[in-house]
């Protein structure tokens, strides 16, 4: 950045003055589209960037899955935006410098950080930029593939394998190596699919455009996740309907046009619509004009996603499990971990739960987890643990980290007899939990008053003795 601004040009003022003198660059600086400021494109990219920070698999992996301490988020909440600001300070100057130095269309804009120093004879600087870019890209690919492989193995492969009777009946078999093999295969599959799509669409689209297409796909999780955090009326059927509708609309309005423009599909349906129906054109659906392809797809996909999620959720009555999960997520800050109610009722066996953890977590790790849990609840031996709702929840939480929440719930259900909770049962458990908290607060208040009275009596006794 400093080399481009202060070596190739005479500072930021000179760089932007030259860019203003070129009509094409002046239009880019003003973010113009058709002679007017592209409000829709600016707003769409801003919203898409906000969603990507949270919902991209690599971001979610680092911020949530690998976060071992919640207090780390207090520092990340200002360090991460500062990092984004610093790494983007020279993006615009480098882009403008490359367009001015080489001319529009004469060089690939994605390689300006390498082509500019090479053109100026700074080979060492170009090598330094190449090594830094390679390191950053490699790290991003590693984290991304690990995150996606965990999602694929936990949410797609394992639920299917658990339906296999042989896998569920082999109680003595250690399946931790099986899980590792599944994730390794998923990593290879993700890399191959990414390579295939790059060859399908990479020739017609810039790298940043391919990234924005994936960002728009990841944004489909936003209505469900945000709704689950702030709305108690969401249901499983509503979430599935919203995700399915959103991804189908994204594929039709953005994914298919990108493949068609790469030459792998006929482009007639883009210009004329399928079967000649112009109102079904993927880039101008229902005759909507004035949007670029990305903003157009983001608008329609998010709209049908949110409408399907809310509509189906309002149409279906939440089950007891859905109501309990909604209460725990929406009211998460109103309860501490110790006073949070556990919405589970049934019968279980401690040894069965321990053997289940040993199969999927390994024997040593499972026993260490149970020993730690026994110490926290004040029990000397694991065999003396009561197989209550909190132990079942603890086992399900530990298994969820290895096999995913859906598979963990199915595994626990295979060794424990769970009774179905109705919404009334959920409300009754909440009432009992609130009564327990109120009773605890009352006891705490009485204890404090007794301490104060004891201190006053002690002071009075000391005065009498003196």
371-402 residue pLDDT tens: 888 888 777 777 777 777 777 778 887 887 77
Mean per-residue pLDDT, 317-346: 61
Residue 175 pLDDT more than 50? yes
Give the model's confidence band at 426: pLDDT under 50 very low, under 70 low, under 90 confident, else very high. Answer: very low
Around Cβ 68, how many Cβ atoms within 10 Å? Answer: 5
Beta-bridged to residue 346, according to DSSP, are 418
Provide the pLDDT for residue 32.
Answer: 63
Provide the pLDDT for residue 341.
Answer: 45
Residue 173 pLDDT more than 70? no
What SS3 state is found at 320? Answer: helix
Per-residue pLDDT tens digits for 241-278: 999 999 999 999 888 888 787 776 777 777 777 877 87
Residue 340 pLDDT more than 50? no
Domain-by-domain residue ranges, the chain? 206-336
Mean per-residue pLDDT, 59-73: 78
Per-residue pLDDT tens digits for 279-295: 888 888 888 887 888 88
CB distance 198 to 210 below 8 Å? yes
Provide the pLDDT for residue 33.
Answer: 60
CB distance 228 to 326 below 8 Å? yes
71-75: Cβ within 8 A, 24+ apart:
none
How far apart (Å, rounded) are the C-alpha atoms in residues 364 and 358? Answer: 8
How far apart (Å, rounded) are the C-alpha atoms in residues 73 and 148? Answer: 23
Mean per-residue pLDDT, 445-449: 68
How far apart (Å, rounded) are the C-alpha atoms in residues 311 and 446? Answer: 49
């Amino acid at each position: 950045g400093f080399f481009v601004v202060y070596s190739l040009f005479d500072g930021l003022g000179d760089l932007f003055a030259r860019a203003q003198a070129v009509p094409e660059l002046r239009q880019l600086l003003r973010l113009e589209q058709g002679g007017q400021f592209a409000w829709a494109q600016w707003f769409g990219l801003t919203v898409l960037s906000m969603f990507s920070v949270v919902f991209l698999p690599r971001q979610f992996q680092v911020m949530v899955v690998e976060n071992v301490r919640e207090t780390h988020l207090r520092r990340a909440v200002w360090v991460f935006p500062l990092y984004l600001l610093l790494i983007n300070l020279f993006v615009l100057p480098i882009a403008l410098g490359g367009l001015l130095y080489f001319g529009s269309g004469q060089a690939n804009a994605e390689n300006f950080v390498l082509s500019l120093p090479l053109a100026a004879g700074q080979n060492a600087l170009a090598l330094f930029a190449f090594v830094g870019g390679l390191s950053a890209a490699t790290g991003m690919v590693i984290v991304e593939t690990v995150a996606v492989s965990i999602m694929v193995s936990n949410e797609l492969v394992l639920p299917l394998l658990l339906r296999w009777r042989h896998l569920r009946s082999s109680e003595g078999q250690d399946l931790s190596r099986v899980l590792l093999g599944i994730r390794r295969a998923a990593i290879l599959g993700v890399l191959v699919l990414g390579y295939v799509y790059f060859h399908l669409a990479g020739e017609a689209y810039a790298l940043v455009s391919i990234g924005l297409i994936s960002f728009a796909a990841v944004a489909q999780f936003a209505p469900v996740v945000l709704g689950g955090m702030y709305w108690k009326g969401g249901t499983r059927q509503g979430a599935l309907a919203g995700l399915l509708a959103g991804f189908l609309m994204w594929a039709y309005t953005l994914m298919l046009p990108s493949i068609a423009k790469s030459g792998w599909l006929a482009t007639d349906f883009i210009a004329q619509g399928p079967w000649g129906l112009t109102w079904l054109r993927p880039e101008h659906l229902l005759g909507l004009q004035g949007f670029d392809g990305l903003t157009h797809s983001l608008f329609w996909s998010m709209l049908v996603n949110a409408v399907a999620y809310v509509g189906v959720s309002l149409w279906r009555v939440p089950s007891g499990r859905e109501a309990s999960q909604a209460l725990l997520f929406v009211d998460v800050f109103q309860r501490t971990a110790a006073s949070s109610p556990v919405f589970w009722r049934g019968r279980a066996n401690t040894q069965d739960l321990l053997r289940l953890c040993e199969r999927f977590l390994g024997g040593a790790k499972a026993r260490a987890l149970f020993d730690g849990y026994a110490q926290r609840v004040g029990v000397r031996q694991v065999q003396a643990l009561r197989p209550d709702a909190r132990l079942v929840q603890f086992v399900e939480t530990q298994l969820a980290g290895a096999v995913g929440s859906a598979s963990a719930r199915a595994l626990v259900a295979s060794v424990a007899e769970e009774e179905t909770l109705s919404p009334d049962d959920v409300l009754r458990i909440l009432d009992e939990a609130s009564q327990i908290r109120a009773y605890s607060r009352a006891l705490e208040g009485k204890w404090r008053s007794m301490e104060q009275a004891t201190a006053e009596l002690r002071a009075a006794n000391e005065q009498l003795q003196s």
